[in-house]
Amino acid sequence: MKPDFGNGIRKKLKAIMPKPVKMRIQYLVSLFLVTLKITN
pLDDT in tens, 1-40: 455 666 777 777 777 665 677 777 888 899 899 998 988 7
Give the predicted TM-score (pTM) of the model. Answer: 0.42
CB neighbour list of residue 27: distance below 8 Å, 6 or more residues apart: 17, 18
| pLDDT at residue 12, rounded to an integer | 75
| pLDDT at residue 6, rounded to an integer | 64
| pLDDT at residue 18, rounded to an integer | 59
DSSP-assigned letter for residue 14 = H
